[in-house]
């Protein structure tokens, strides 16, 4: 499908969507607990659907109900608990002995659930081709001494994992993906014996590990952390075995990763082609209070997009988007590069802001190439259509200063939700068409409805040109 966007100025009040990163983890912890857990304030997306399918394949029961007050989604999860050793759904693979877990394009689902499935003998993971390309080499190396068999079938987009996870010492590289660390942290507490994970430096995306640890502790799981990252070392986790997850009520929190696109609208209004505005574009409005920015009594006008539901005290690392968007918006030659090794998902929106506001330099970009697309190259290709040159290096990106122009060509979303949303920000300035706009459903199916709700003129059409509903 294609989004046809007319230039305009987004304005209005909007609630940030719930955090996909947090809800993934809450679903898994609930599925591993005995009894009934609830998750309020959730929202459905393709990635969350994938995790729900995966825990159902292992025997968890999940119900969904619309919340009357908030309009959000309430999930009821009846967990597996001590039945994990014999879990599994009726749907098996062709050999009849392993559950089938459909992951789609969700790297979180795949990498979180592989160790969990190995508690009961393994599983067959059905993935989108791009997810197969992104790989699970970290697990292949870590599980080799345990005799766990991992076979990847690119022709059928299947990963077959067979064997039993055993307690022991695991060494994981910290510069590939934090998802491998989180996956082990979910599973190891349920084993008979104690385990240790050493995360080799450099440890990137550390905040995502912190989210996992925070949610594990809330679910009753104990672990000790020896953190030597301040001196350039790694992280050691000591995980006692024979633990049990505790059923509980969870409340989903707002998503800083997707909230960055909303806040980016304010950055563009403040520093973009229209010139500096007379408000503080980095301000976040939460619960009708002044907690997240702007001192009480300030005479600055409020930013055009009022964003609620984002907690400055969250464990989410992408809350740094407030500072980084400001840095990208006001960046000038000679300024320090903007480091994103701990928050690579912010790369595309920062590149978009830099393109509109006079250029910027990003560092720590190496892992952008192993996301849903090669994000640095994808953004470079699309920004060229706006007349902006981008130089992509091994671990850095330079967005050159230039004059943002309306694209003559149709923009390509590269089947990547964050690329599509970043291009939408720029198209709000110039107008434009984005092919593959449905990719937003991976994390935020309601994005286009929110975009319209902020006063933007956007039409979604299919390949034949017929208008489509967006949700």
Catalytic residue numbers, as ranges: 345
Give pairs for 408-414: CB < 8 Å, separation 24+.
Answer: 409/385, 410/2, 410/434, 410/435, 411/382, 411/385, 411/435, 412/378, 412/381, 412/382, 412/436, 413/437, 413/439, 414/372, 414/373, 414/378, 414/382, 414/439
Tokens of 320: 């740094």
Exposure of 45 in the CB half-sphere (CA atoms within 13 A): 27
Measured in degrees and rounded to the nearest 5, phi and psi for residue 391 equal -105, 125
Q: What is the dihedral of CA 263, 265, 266, 267, to 10 degrees?
A: 90
Q: Measure the CA–CA gap between 428 and 126, rounded to whole angstroms.
A: 37
393 neighbors 415 (Cβ within 8 angstroms): no
Tokens of 316: 């989410």
341 neighbors 394 (Cβ within 8 angstroms): no
């Amino acid at each position: 499908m294609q989004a046809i966007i007319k230039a305009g100025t987004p304005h209005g009040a909007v609630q940030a969507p719930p955090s996909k990163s947090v809800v993934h983890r809450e679903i898994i912890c609930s599925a591993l607990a005995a009894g009934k857990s609830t998750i309020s304030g959730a929202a459905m997306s393709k990635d969350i659907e994938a995790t729900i399918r995966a825990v159902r394949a292992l025997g968890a029961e999940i119900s969904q109900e619309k919340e009357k007050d908030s309009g959000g989604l309430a999930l009821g999860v009846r967990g597996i608990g001590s039945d994990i050793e014999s879990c599994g759904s009726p749907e098996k693979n062709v050999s009849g002995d392993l559950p089938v877990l459909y992951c789609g394009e969700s790297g979180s689902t795949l990498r979180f659930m592989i160790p969990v499935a190995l508690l009961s003998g393994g599983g067959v993971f059905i993935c989108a081709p791009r997810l197969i390309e992104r790989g699970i080499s970290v697990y292949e190396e870590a599980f080799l001494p345990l005799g766990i068999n991992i076979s990847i079938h690119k022709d059928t987009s299947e990963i077959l994992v067979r064997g039993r996870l055993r307690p022991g010492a695991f060494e994981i590289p910290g510069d590939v993906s934090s998802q491998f660390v989180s996956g082990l942290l979910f599973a190891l507490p349920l084993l008979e014996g104690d385990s240790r994970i050493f995360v080799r430096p450099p440890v990137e995306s550390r905040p995502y590990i912190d989210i996992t640890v925070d949610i594990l502790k809330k679910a009753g799981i104990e672990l000790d952390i020896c953190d030597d990252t301040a001196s350039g070392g790694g992280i050691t986790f000591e995980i006692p075995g024979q633990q049990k997850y505790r059923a509980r009520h969870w409340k989903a929190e707002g998503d800083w990763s997707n909230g960055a696109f909303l806040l980016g609208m304010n950055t563009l209004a403040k520093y973009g082609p229209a010139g500096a505005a007379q408000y503080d574009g980095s301000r976040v409005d939460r619960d009708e209070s002044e907690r997240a920015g702007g001192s009480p009594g300030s005479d600055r006008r409020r930013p055009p997009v009022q964003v609620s539901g984002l907690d400055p005290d969250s464990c989410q690392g992408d809350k740094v988007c407030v500072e980084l968007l400001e840095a990208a918006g006001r960046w000038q030659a000679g300024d320090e590069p903007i480091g994103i090794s701990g928050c690579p998902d912010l790369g595309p929106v920062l590149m978009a802001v830099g393109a509109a506001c006079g250029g910027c330099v990003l560092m720590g970009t190496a892992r952008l190439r192993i996301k849903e697309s090669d994000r640095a190259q994808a953004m470079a290709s699309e920004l060229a259509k706006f007349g902006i040159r981008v130089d992509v290096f091994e671990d850095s990106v330079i967005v050159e200063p230039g004059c943002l122009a309306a694209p003559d060509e149709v923009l390509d979303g590269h089947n990547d939700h964050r690329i599509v949303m970043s291009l939408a920000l720029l198209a709000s300035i110039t107008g434009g068409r984005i092919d593959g706009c449905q990719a937003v459903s991976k994390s935020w199916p309601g994005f286009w409805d929110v975009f319209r709700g902020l006063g933007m003129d956007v039409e979604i059409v299919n390949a034949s040109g017929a208008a489509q509903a967006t949700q």
